[in-house]
Amino acid sequence: MSIQAHPDDQEFTVGGTLAKWARAGSHIVTVCITSGGAGSNDHSPLDMTREALVPIREEEQRQACRVLGISEVVFLGYEDGMLEPSLALRRELTRIIRRYRPDAVVCGDPTMRFYGSIYMNHPDHRAASDVALDAVFPSAETRLIFPELLAEGLEPHKVQSVFIHGSAQPDTFIDISEVLSVKVAALKEHRTQMGSWDPTEMITAWAREQGAKRRLKAAESFRLMRLHEPGSATG
Ligand SMILES: [Zn+2]
């Protein structure tokens, strides 16, 4: 299960890994907490409204998922640019985790505030990843947290591992050489965000940088939390 704040977050960050897993037979569900209604100043016409943009971006996300081999996308409909690490959102993500019962969750790193000196992490990204981690542990696996979910028939679920992208301490490197072109193709489906810009060069450079530590030509790197893997003490 890939949990992200906006349409296109997944394609920028973890599209290669998900494409690889999908090709290996994994069933993947993408959870998009907002539908990206705020868009981008660069590529949104001045007369664009949130209401008009939402269905377009949802369709772009579905199309990007199809390219990656993901058939299921869930939109939670939160407002783009306004995400808070709220209990309501934690309950919602807990509900979804208990419903789909994923082995692994993929999300961002809520501790990341600054990337180098040119990008301050978007508050929606921080909120989304903070809540995703809190939903995985302790909420999804603890019976008496959100007992109202039990009444919906949603039993506790232990997520085995969490793949955290964009971390300052990556320890796991997924070789995406064979699916790099798929990652780029999926990202290009977000036409309202890309405009005429071709992301190939930047995505290729990022993949090269992330792979360098392991001498991989192209990789996506993660901080991996092994919470309940089979054979582990608590599994
Ligand atoms: Zn984003």
Residue pLDDT, tens place only, 139-155:
999 999 999 999 999 99
pLDDT computed for residue 73 by the predictor: 98
User: Is the pLDDT confidence value at 100 over 80?
Assistant: yes
- CA 103 / ligand 1 centre spacing (Å): 24
User: Is the pLDDT confidence value at 5 over 70?
Assistant: yes
- CA 6 / ligand 1 centre spacing (Å): 5
pLDDT computed for residue 234 by the predictor: 55
User: Is the pLDDT confidence value at 235 over 60?
Assistant: no
Contacts of 176 by beta carbon, 8 Å cutoff, 6+ apart? 16, 17, 19, 20, 183, 207, 218, 219, 220
- CA 231 / ligand 1 centre spacing (Å): 36
Predicted confidence (pLDDT) per residue in 40-51, tens digit? 777 778 888 888
User: Is the pLDDT confidence value at 112 over 80?
Assistant: yes
pLDDT computed for residue 107 by the predictor: 98
Averaged pLDDT for residues 174-189: 98
**What is the distance of C-alpha 201 from the center of its chain?**
22
pLDDT computed for residue 233 by the predictor: 58
- CA 73 / ligand 1 centre spacing (Å): 16
78 burial (CB, 10 Å; 0-12 / 13-18 / 19+) is buried
Averaged pLDDT for residues 124-137: 98
pLDDT computed for residue 49 by the predictor: 86
pLDDT computed for residue 171 by the predictor: 97
Average pLDDT over the chain reads 95
Averaged pLDDT for residues 36-59: 87
